[in-house]
């Protein structure tokens, strides 16, 4: 049996959406960053994606989203917002530019990564099929390590709302990460930092 080849890249994704009910939800904002497996950027910050998705008249959002993300909802009603098909094409072009042609072997493709990434994966499969066709069949969910770190090792919580912590564990973050939690671009940077936090802490624990 041939050993598995190393993962070529992690494609970090975070999304905000209209409703927590995945069957009714539509995308509102998508942010994406590409790193290697050591959480080093593959591109400069100006090539990160941070896109608002168009809300059409009659599209509804949940009361929580309406109350807590009014600026995002307003941005999704402007001419600068993209529809899902435009976003899908842009994401596919971005990943091809960043990681190269899509290998025929799915196991050689980049892996989708993030916090509770199954939710983003569910909506990406629904609204972003061309982008998803470029990716591995596996997912890298930081939440798995969050639970193991807490339940098995009783480790200190990573403070994702602390921008200094985000910059410390993801040196590739923008000097002042834009937004705050529940902003997809902030959250995608925080997810990278959080995985690096667990990696750093667990390696330190095993060497102790």
pLDDT value, residue 202: 81
| 12-207: CATH superfamily | Ribonuclease H-like superfamily/Ribonuclease H (3.30.420.10)
Domain segments of the chain as ranges? 12-207
SS3 content of the chain, % helix, strand, coil (to 5): 45, 15, 40
- What does DSSP assign to residue 176? S
Beta bridge partners of 114: 141
Given a cut of 90, is residue 81 above it in pLDDT?
Answer: yes
pLDDT band at 2 (very low <50, low <70, confident <90, very high): very low
In this prediction the pTM is 0.93
- Residues 6 or more apart whose Cβ sits within 8 Å of residue 200: 169
Nearest to 31 by CA among 198, 140, 173, 197: 173
For the stretch 85-130, pLDDT in tens is: 999 999 999 999 999 999 999 999 999 999 999 999 999 999 999 9
Nearest to 122 by CA among 30, 7, 23: 23
Residue tagged 């596996």 (tokens) = 138
Given a cut of 70, is residue 196 above it in pLDDT?
Answer: yes
For the stretch 134-188, pLDDT in tens is: 999 999 999 999 999 999 888 889 999 898 999 999 998 985 665 577 899 999 9
pLDDT value, residue 3: 58
For the stretch 25-72, pLDDT in tens is: 999 999 999 999 999 999 999 999 999 999 988 889 999 999 999 999
Exposure string (b/e) for 26-41, b if CB count within 10 Å is 16 or more? bbbbbbbbbbeeebeb
Ranking 9-13, 16-20, 159-163, 203-207 by mean pLDDT, the lowest is: 203-207
pLDDT value, residue 1: 36
- CA–CA separation, 29 vs 23, rounded Å? 17
pLDDT, averaged across the chain = 92
Nearest to 112 by CA among 89, 90, 142: 142
pLDDT value, residue 175: 58
- The Cα angle at residue 201 between residues 198 and 206, in degrees rounded to 5: 120
């Amino acid at each position: 049996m041939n050993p598995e080849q190393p993962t070529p890249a992690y494609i970090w994704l975070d999304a905000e959406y209209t409703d927590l009910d995945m069957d009714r939800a539509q995308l509102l904002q998508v942010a994406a960053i590409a790193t290697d497996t050591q959480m080093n950027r593959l591109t400069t910050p100006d090539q990160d994606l941070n896109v608002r998705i168009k809300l059409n008249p009659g599209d509804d959002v949940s009361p929580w989203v309406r109350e807590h993300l009014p600026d995002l909802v307003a941005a999704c009603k402007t001419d600068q917002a993209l529809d899902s098909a435009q976003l899908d094409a842009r994401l596919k072009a971005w990943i091809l530019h960043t990681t190269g042609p899509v290998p025929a072997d799915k196991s050689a493709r980049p892996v989708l990564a993030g916090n509770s990434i199954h939710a983003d994966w569910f909506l990406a499969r629904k609204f972003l099929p061309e982008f998803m066709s470029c990716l591995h069949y596996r997912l890298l969910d930081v939440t798995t390590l969050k639970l193991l770190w807490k339940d098995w090792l009783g480790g200190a919580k990573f403070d994702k709302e602390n921008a200094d912590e985000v910059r410390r564990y993801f040196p590739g973050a923008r000097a002042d990460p834009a937004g705050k939690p529940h902003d997809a671009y902030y959250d995608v940077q925080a997810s990278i930092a959080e995985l690096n936090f667990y990696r750093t802490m667990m390696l330190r624990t095993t060497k102790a």
